[in-house]
Amino acid sequence: MKWLRLSMHSIKDETSVQIFNLKILTKKRFIQQTQILFFFFLSLSLLGQHRNEITAALNDSTKQIQISQKFTYVNNSEEGLSTLYFNDWNHAYANRNTALAERFAEEFKRSLHLSKDFERGNTTVMSVVGSDYTGLEWERVGNRDIIKVKLKNVLKPGESAQLFFTYTIKLPSKKFTLYGFDTNGEYYLKDWYLTPAVYDLGWKLYDNMGLDDMYTDVADTSIEFTYPEKLFLASNFDESSKNTFLGAQYIVFRGTNRKGCEIILSRLKRFTKHVTRYLTVTTDIDVNKYDEISQGVSINKIARYLEKNLGRYPHNNLLVSEIDYSKTPLYGINQLPSFIRPYEEQFQFELKFLKTAINSFLAETMYLDPRGERWVNDAIANYLMIKYVEENYPEQKLAGKLSKIWGFKSFHLAQMDFNEQYALLSMFPARRNIDQALTTPNDSLIKFNEKIANSYKAGLGMSYLSDYIGERKVDSSIHGFYRTHSLDSKVNAQDFREELERFADKDIDWFFDEYVATRKKIDFKIKKVKKTDDSITFTIKNKRRTNVPISLFGLQKDSVISKYWFSDIDTSRTFTIPRNGEDRLVLNYDQKIPEFNQRDNWKTLNGFFSSNKKLKFQFFKDTEDPYFNQIFYVPVANFNVYDGITPGIRIYNKTFLERPFQYDIVPTYSFLEKTVVGKASIRYRKYHGKSGLFVSNYSFSGSTSHFQTNSRFSTLTPAISFGWRPEDLISNRRQRLLFRYRSVFRNIDESLVDQIDTEPDYSVFNVRFTDVDNDILNFASWFLDAQHSTDFTKLAFEVEYRKLYQDNRQFNFRFYAGKFLINDTDSDFFSFALDRPTDYLFDLAYLGRSEDSGIYSQQIIIAEGGFKSQLENPFVNDWITTANASTSIWRWIEAYGDIGFTRNKGENPRFVYGSGIRLNLVTDFFELYFPVYSNRGWEIADQNYGERIRFIVTISPRTLTGLFTRKWF
C-alpha cells in the first residue's frame, strides 16, 4: 500500500483537498481492480465445473417428461477418460429385476414386483450426440440405473466435452419411494434427470435402492421447465422467468454448484416462503394447532441455530418438505396418531422442522459420498438435534405429556429424558447382535440400522465425544469443517477426522478406530471397591476390551458431586479418587455413552447388602431400568376347545431391549376344567460374532394343558440350539441346529383309558437342522429331523419352495419324506400322518387337537404329509413320501394338488392324491382349502361338503406382529 501513502509534508495547503480526492479515487480504482481480479479468478475456477442445461416438459396425461439436455463434462481427474457414466435413477422402476426391486424384496415389500405397467417408471434414450453433432456410442450397463457413453477421443485432464442427450422419462407411482406421481395428480421429482457419476480413482457407480443416496458430481445447472397450469410448484433451486402460456406454466430454474433439482408440484398451495436474516426457507411442514405466526418465530429460531452451529447457507433457498420428513421422521412415541400425540405443538413443530432442515441443509452443502460416508452427516445432524433439545427443552421427557398420566408415570420409559431415545434405539440392534459399524455402506445396512440405529449412534457418538473433550471443541470443529468444506466436491470422512483432531487436546483415535469403524460393544463394570476416610479405590473392568474412555460419577443421595474420565483400560485397571461424601459410584450415569449393559454400572459405598437392587413389579413391558430388578406382568388369554378361554397373567423380565437371561411364566385358569394350566420357560442366549455361528440358546421350558375333556398333558423340555447366518445381514437366510429332550406326562380321564393305546408318559430325544431363506420372491427352506424314543427311531426330511413370478403368479412346492428305522409301537399315535399329525410332541397350535369331527377337526397345519383331503387310513408306520404343490389362478385364488406314496408294515405301498382350490389370503397365517377330487372321488359332490373344507388360522399376536416387524430386521 506504499503507493497510497502520500507525503503531506511536500504538499501545499491549497492542494490538500485535491490530494484527498485523489486518494479516494485511487482507493475506488483499487477496489474495482480487486473485484475484476476476483471475478476473473472465479471464472477460471468455474472452467473446472460441469455445466448442465436442460429443457423439460411434463405431460400430465402420460406422466412423462420430454428432456433435451446439454451437458458439458469437465475432466477434473488426473487421468484421461475414454468413457463417461451417468446416473439414470428414474430407470430403477423399469422392471422387477432392478437393484431397487431386489432391495424391496429383501424388505418384504412386493409393491414394485406386483405393480402394473403404468405404475412403473423408465427412461427411453433417443440419442446421445457429441459436440460435432454426430452420434456417440452408448449403452445401459446391464439392468442397472447407469448409462455408459463412449467418447470418440480420450478426454484429457482439464479438458471438457459437450454431450447432447434427448430422452423421455416415464415417472413412477409415488407408492414405491414417494417420488413420482400420485393419484391426485401431484408430483415429486427427485433424481429425475441424468447426472454425472463420480470419478475418484475409478468410477463410483451406485444403483438406486430407495436410500436417497445418489452420488453425483456437482454442476451449474439451468432448467427450462414446462408443467400443467393448475399445479403449484416448490423447488430447492432458484426460480425465474415464470409465466403462463397455452394452458401450461413455464419457469426457469438455476442452481450453482448443486447436485440435483427437486421439484414438488401440488394441487393446493401448501408451501410458504419464510425469509429470515439467516436464510430463506420454503416449507410445508405443519403441526395441528400451531399457527403460522408461531411457526415463523420457530423457523427464525432454528435458522439462527443452524447458522450459529454450522455457518451461512450458501444457496438462496432451503426446501424443507413434509415428503422429506416422511422419509426420515422422528421415530418413537410421536409416531402415534395425532389425537394422542404426547408433545406440545411448539416442541413437536420445532423438532420436526429441525430434523428435516438439518438433513436438507447438509445434503445441499456437504458433498461426502452419501452411500459410503453418510455417517458424517448423520453424526453432525443428530448431534445438533441432541444439543438443540438440551439448550431449549432440557426438561422434555421422551413420553411427553404421557409421563404425567397416572398409571403410566411409574414406567421407566415415562421418566426418560427425550434425548435418551438415542441410546435406547441405537442399542436395540446391538442387543440382538444385528448392529453394524457406522462405516458400513447404506446398501449393506438392514432397514432398522439404515433408518434409525446407525444415525442415532452417530449423533450419540458426537455427544459422547463432546462430553469427553469439551463441547466448545466439538462445536468449533463442526463449524470449521463446514466452513472449510462446504460445497467441496472432494470432501471425505478423513477431512472430518482431521478437523476434530485439530481441536481436540486429547487422543481421540478411539472414536474413529473403535466407535465408528467397528461394531464392538462398550461395556464396563465396577469391581473391588475399597474406601478410607479420604479416598476411594476401585477397579474398573472392561468386559468387552473396547478401548474407549468411560465416565465415573460420584453420587450423594442422587445428586452428582464428582465426575471423572478414565481411559486406556485394556482388561481392568485400579484407580483411586478423593472421597467427597459419595455414597454411590456410577459408571456412565448420564448415559452419554451407548453402553451395552448398564445393569452392573453402580456400586454403593454403604455396605454389601445395600448393593442389592430392589425388586420393581410393573404392569406391562418397559424400558430397562439399570437400578432395579424389574418384573413385569400383563393379563393374557388363550383358547382351545377343552380349556375354553383361559385368562391369566404373564410374569416376565423381558424389556424392550433384549437381555441374555429371560424368564417367562404364564399361569392361566381353565374355566371348563376348573384348574390352572399354562406354561413357563427360562432361557439364556449367548451371541457370538456377526456371521457364521452367531447365537447359542440354552433353555428349559414346561407347559400343561388339556388334550381332551378331563385329560391333561404336561411337558418338560431342556434344549440347546445354535444359529448361523451369512456375512450379509440383509440376507434373510438363517440356519439352526436344535437339540431337545421332551418329556410328556398325561393324566387321562377314566372314560377314555380304553381309547388310549400307548403308555401315558413318554420321552423323545429330537435333533433338527433347519435351513431357511425367507425371501418374499423366492422362499426356500429344508430341514432334517431325527427322533428317538424307547419304542421308535425315525427320520424325516422336508423341502419347501415358493416363487412369485413376474406376471404375479405364485408357485408353491413342498416335498416330505419320512422313515421309521425302528418302530415297536402298537398304535398310530407316533406314526406319520397324511393330513393331521397327532402332534405327540405338542408343538402344533391345534385349537382342538383330539377332534375328529366338527369345525375344529377341519383346522389344518401343514406338517408331515400336508394333505388337505381327509383320506381313509391317514397314518403310516413304515415310510411316507408326499409332494404338495399349488399355483395361482387369479390373484389369491390357487389350484393345489397333493400326491404321495405310503407304506405300512406288512402292506404294499399305496398311492394317494388329492386336489382342490386354495384361497391363499395370507400365506401361513390365513388360508382356506376346498377339496375337489381325491382318492375319495369327487369330494365337491358330497352332501356334507362343508365338513371337507380345511382352514389355516393363526391367532398368536406374536406371530402376527412378525408380519410387520420382519421388514425392519
Tell me which of 213, 248, 267 is where a domain ends.
Answer: 267
Percent of the chain with pLDDT over 90: 76
> Using CA atoms, how far apart are residues 967 and 103, in angstroms rounded to an integer?
11
Among residues 378, 373, 372, the alpha carbon closest in space to that of 359 is found at 378
DSSP annotation of 255: E
> Using CA atoms, how far apart are residues 620 and 625, in angstroms rounded to an integer?
14
> Using CA atoms, how far apart are residues 728 and 726, in angstroms rounded to an integer?
5
Q: Is residue 207 part of a domain?
A: yes
- Confidence (pLDDT) at 289: 87
- If asked whether residues 832 and 907 sit together in one domain, one would say yes
pLDDT band at 309 (very low <50, low <70, confident <90, very high): very high
Grid coordinates belonging to 678: 399354562
Among residues 466, 454, 475, the alpha carbon closest in space to that of 590 is found at 466
- If asked whether residues 41 and 59 sit together in one domain, one would say no
Which amino acid type is present at position 55? T
CB atoms near residue 820 (< 10 Å): 21
- If asked whether residues 72 and 166 sit together in one domain, one would say yes
CATH of the domain at 784: 2.40.160
Q: Is residue 874 part of a domain?
A: yes
Q: Say which range, 105-114, 145-154, 209-218, 466-475, has the weakest mean pLDDT.
A: 105-114
Reported as a single tens digit per residue, the pLDDT across 230-244 is 999 999 999 988 899
- If asked whether residues 600 and 715 sit together in one domain, one would say no
Which amino acid type is present at position 811? F
For residue 22, pLDDT beyond 60: no
> Using CA atoms, how far apart are residues 150 and 520, in angstroms rounded to an integer?
45
Number of domains in the chain: 4
Torsion angle of the four alpha carbons 563, 568, 573, 575, in this order, in degrees rounded to the nearest 10: -30
pLDDT band at 820 (very low <50, low <70, confident <90, very high): very high
Q: Is residue 631 part of a domain?
A: no
Q: Say which range, 332-346, 688-702, 711-725, has the weakest mean pLDDT.
A: 332-346
CATH of the domain at 593: 2.60.40.10
- Confidence (pLDDT) at 76: 93
- If asked whether residues 90 and 30 sit together in one domain, one would say no
pLDDT band at 223 (very low <50, low <70, confident <90, very high): very high
> Using CA atoms, how far apart are residues 856 and 408, in angstroms rounded to an integer?
40
Helix (H) or strand (E) holding 100: helix 99-106
Bridge partners of 708? Answer: 711
Contact 320, 295 (CB under 8 A): no
Cα-trace Rg, the chain: 35
> Using CA atoms, how far apart are residues 654 and 824, in angstroms rounded to an integer?
44
Mean pLDDT of 276-299: 94
Phi, psi of 495 (to 5 degrees): -65, -40
Q: Is residue 106 part of a domain?
A: yes
Instruction: Spell out a b/e string for 572-591, using b for 16 or more CB atoms within 10 Å of the CB, else e.
Output: eeeeebebeebebbbbbbeb
Mean pLDDT of 928-949: 94
Q: Is residue 760 part of a domain?
A: yes
Q: Is residue 616 part of a domain?
A: no
Mean pLDDT of 950-956: 83
Cα distances (angstroms) measured from residue 498 to each of 57, 142, 471, 473: 46, 39, 17, 13
- If asked whether residues 21 and 109 sit together in one domain, one would say no
Percent of the chain with pLDDT over 70: 93
Among residues 665, 661, 662, the alpha carbon closest in space to that of 678 is found at 665
pLDDT band at 6 (very low <50, low <70, confident <90, very high): very low
For residue 339, pLDDT beyond 90: no
- If asked whether residues 174 and 26 sit together in one domain, one would say no
- Confidence (pLDDT) at 965: 72
Q: Is residue 353 part of a domain?
A: no
Tell me which of 560, 576, 605 is where a domain ends.
Answer: 605
- In which residue are the cell numbers 418397559 written? 622
CA 206 to chain centre: 20
Grid coordinates belonging to 247: 394452458
Grid coordinates belonging to 417: 429424558
- If asked whether residues 727 and 601 sit together in one domain, one would say no
Mean pLDDT of 55-74: 97
Phi, psi of 482 (to 5 degrees): -65, -45
Q: Can you give the residue range of the structural domain that contains 937?
A: 674-968
For residue 608, pLDDT beyond 70: no
Contact 680, 652 (CB under 8 A): no
Contact 58, 187 (CB under 8 A): yes
For residue 524, pLDDT beyond 70: yes
Torsion sign, CA atoms 189, 195, 201, 204: positive
CB atoms near residue 18 (< 10 Å): 10
- Confidence (pLDDT) at 35: 38
- Confidence (pLDDT) at 333: 64
- In which residue are the cell numbers 463432546 written? 466
CB atoms near residue 641 (< 10 Å): 20
Contact 104, 158 (CB under 8 A): no
Torsion angle of the four alpha carbons 324, 326, 327, 330, in this order, in degrees rounded to the nearest 10: 110
Grid coordinates belonging to 155: 478426454
Report the mean per-residue pLDDT for the chain.
90
The number of helices, as runs of H, and strands, as runs of E, in the chain is 14, 47
Tell me which of 246, 267, 288 is where a domain ends.
Answer: 267
- In which residue are the cell numbers 472432494 written? 490
> Using CA atoms, how far apart are residues 865 and 881, in angstroms rounded to an integer?
7
Q: List all residues 6 or more positions away from 509 whose beta carbon is below 8 Å from its beta carbon.
A: none
Torsion sign, CA atoms 458, 179, 347, 410: negative
For residue 410, pLDDT beyond 90: no
Reported as a single tens digit per residue, the pLDDT across 614-636 is 888 988 898 888 888 899 999 99
- In which residue are the cell numbers 383331503 written? 869
> What is the pTM for the complete model shown?
0.89
Bridge partners of 539? Answer: 527, 574
Cα distances (angstroms) measured from residue 915 to each of 149, 832, 898: 55, 21, 6
Q: How far apart are the first and last CA of the chain?
A: 67
> Using CA atoms, how far apart are residues 493 and 498, in angstroms rounded to an integer?
9
Instruction: Strands of 141-193 (E only): list them.
Output: 146-155, 160-170, 180-181, 187-189
- Confidence (pLDDT) at 114: 85
Among residues 322, 231, 317, the alpha carbon closest in space to that of 274 is found at 317
- If asked whether residues 797 and 903 sit together in one domain, one would say yes
Reported as a single tens digit per residue, the pLDDT across 743-797 is 999 998 887 777 777 888 999 999 999 999 998 889 999 999 999 999 999 999 9
- If asked whether residues 780 and 875 sit together in one domain, one would say yes
- If asked whether residues 31 and 81 sit together in one domain, one would say no
Contact 646, 671 (CB under 8 A): yes
Percent helix, strand, coil in the chain, to 5, is: 25, 40, 35
CB atoms near residue 73 (< 10 Å): 23
Q: Is 406 helix (H, G, I), strand (E, B) or coil?
A: coil
> Using CA atoms, how far apart are residues 276 and 320, in angstroms rounded to an integer?
14
**Angle, vertex CA 134, rays to CA 130 and CA 137, nearest 5:** 70
DSSP string covering 916-929: EEEEEEETTTEEEE
Q: 14 vs 126, which has greater pLDDT?
A: 126
For residue 338, pLDDT beyond 90: no
Q: Is residue 234 part of a domain?
A: yes
Among residues 374, 490, 445, the alpha carbon closest in space to that of 209 is found at 445
CB atoms near residue 781 (< 10 Å): 17
- If asked whether residues 33 and 88 sit together in one domain, one would say no
Reported as a single tens digit per residue, the pLDDT across 657-701 is 999 999 999 999 999 999 999 999 999 999 998 899 999 999 999
- Confidence (pLDDT) at 847: 92
- Confidence (pLDDT) at 63: 97
Phi, psi of 150 (to 5 degrees): -95, 125
- In which residue are the cell numbers 420436526 written? 352
| 129-136 LR contacts (CB < 8 Å, sep 24+) | 129/163, 129/164, 129/166, 130/161, 130/162, 130/163, 130/164, 131/161, 131/162, 131/163, 133/164, 136/163
For residue 605, pLDDT beyond 90: no
